[in-house]
């Protein structure tokens, strides 16, 4: 538990607790297995140690434990399959990025952000940096349109480290 975490009633776990994430993935996998006929969501096998090490280097050591936990379970999903619905973006479904894809997106978007010659107007809602791209955003999922679900590792005042943001 982090020092800034408030006590939770009845032993409840933090939202980013790795055990809670594993429980959630098991429920997702069980749901897919229980369909008749079983559906193949296209989840990849776990990330390799080398793949995880490369990603940590690419994101400057900002890889949250929760993202590492997810990648150790599935190194993203097969390109073109979008098995993960999200209530906030219905009917859009999402695909988890692999470690290599996360690293490539961070590098690509960081390069584009550095190359912007003028200030690009940006609209941000909530406690999120109003910038075109922030090096502390870790892309986790994509929906095939260029939009990303990211984990914010350095939010402005009022935000919370690890908050989820929709980039697009």
Rg of the Cα atoms in the chain? 17
Amino acid 121: pLDDT: 79
Tens digits of residue pLDDT in 138-159: 999 999 999 999 999 999 999 9
Angle value at C-alpha 106, between 85 and 68, nearest 5 degrees = 60
Token pair for residue 23? 């429980």
What is this structure's pTM? Answer: 0.84
Exposure pattern of 86-117 as b/e (b: 16+ CB <10 Å)?
A: eeeeeeeebbbbbbebbbebbeebbeeeeeee
Tens digits of residue pLDDT in 43-76: 999 999 999 999 999 998 878 888 999 999 999 9
Sheet with 93-96, edge to edge strand ranges: 84-85, 93-96, 137-142, 148-152, 163-167
Q: Check whether 36 has a pLDDT greater than 70.
A: yes
Residue % of the chain over a pLDDT of 90: 49
């Amino acid at each position: 538990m982090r020092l800034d975490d408030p006590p939770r009633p009845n032993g409840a776990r933090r939202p980013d607790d790795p055990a809670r994430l594993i429980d959630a993935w098991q429920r997702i996998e069980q749901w897919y297995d229980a369909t008749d006929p079983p559906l193949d969501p296209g989840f990849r096998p776990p990330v390799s140690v080398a793949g995880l090490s490369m990603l940590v280097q690419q994101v400057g050591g900002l890889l949250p434990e929760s993202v590492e936990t997810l990648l150790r379970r599935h190194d993203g999903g097969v390109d073109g399959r979008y098995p993960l619905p999200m209530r906030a973006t219905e009917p859009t479904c999402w695909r988890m990025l692999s470690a290599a894809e996360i690293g490539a997106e961070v590098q690509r978007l960081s390069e584009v952000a550095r190359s912007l010659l003028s200030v690009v107007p940006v609209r941000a809602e909530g406690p999120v940096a109003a910038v075109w791209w922030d090096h502390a955003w870790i892309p986790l999922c994509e929906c095939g349109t260029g939009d990303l679900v990211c984990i914010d590792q350095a939010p402005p005042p009022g935000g919370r480290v690890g908050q989820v943001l929709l980039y697009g």
